[in-house]
Structure 1
């Protein structure tokens, strides 16, 4: 359980007096959460910048996750750092913003417009905002990402009991399935696979739950996203191709859509429309 302190007095610029609400032992390298408080700190620390430069210069990463995003300027700062660090002609890694602050929820449209995807990081988000708001925030954030046609990952405590148990609870099974029904693109394990006793079994279990949920997700999910809902004026050519292919598959009940094209962006555009048919 987290240690909870209540600030009762400011002693100096660097010291606070606190009342212990929930006590315990503080070990090293632990994070600090300040619920509903906008922290005037940059999103990237000196170490973050050094790490980003390392992975960009070595072309080691396909994705870079940005923690504790609060505003669009945080994403812009990372973009500029990546551009200046990449070798000439190297592809830009995709940016996934971890939504862990109330401020990020409030600015989600701006954050989505600049990033390639978001992670619903339920651990810190559940501390930073009121815990009872978390289920609604999860659905809201997934919906927003779906409408923006951006990647969305749901993470934290999905099969937490499998750290020590070979089988999940019924509530955890429902949690993973409901994330699929909500429209998430990916579900992520943390401690279950990092330090758990049953990492392989946990991954297998999550895969089975997702596969079963996806059999009915077409009947339970929102209607197919339409590029025309958000385009200004005419559709872009590649969006028109993607939408036509997906609509044809839907109308004819095709079992699969097979993609042959050198321009991979069209494949991404098709996938973002979430066709019911298998997509290869």
Structure 2
């Protein structure tokens, strides 16, 4: 009987261990449990970026990700303990960014995401990490658009959910014929085919498109500063711990020179004149 009891106790212990292992899964959809890097404690982190913005956030035909926001996201993830192979990039179109965060589909979003009061009702931000200005992209031979008012009676394109389009429509050119598309690439196609007269968004994004090899000589930036767009990293509302960690990572990226190097690498070919790295204001 003694041997039988010992065997039964051992079986119970094994069963309890297996149960604990099975119940120890990760309940966070967008990131693994806290731990060191290299896959020993964190499985992966899901980060929202744009897939169609050259120079900012672009998924190339061979499945790679390039752009300034990608470099910022990768740097921040590293500071949070994730190696590049532990990052899963998820497409974050403008109109879906708040939903992706609130649903837990991403840990955070780095996607030319301008900080404003309306968005802060639903999500929190870290940063800002870049100050851009709203501008216009027109065809290289177009001399009819030199100021915002010239957009009245013209066909203007931007993406659904973008602050840029509404800024023009409500403040600068109320008679503009606004066309909203799912992505900037559609606007660019319309601009090239002359069904659209101008594309508006931040100068950083426009510079990325104009600098593409296939677009060289076709388009030009008008050179307007129609608004200040402070790009922030969006995260779940109330997650102060993550906000603080991301802000710390952004400050380090600036101080060690990685921020400036990323700006030059991604925007330099378009002769983009960037502002200095902005001061961190969110969460302070």
Q: Which has more helix, going by share of residues?
A: 1
Larger radius of gyration: 2
Fold similarity call, TM over 0.5 = no
TM-score normalized by the length of structure 1: 0.26
Q: Counting strand residues as a fraction of each chain, which structure ranks higher?
A: 2
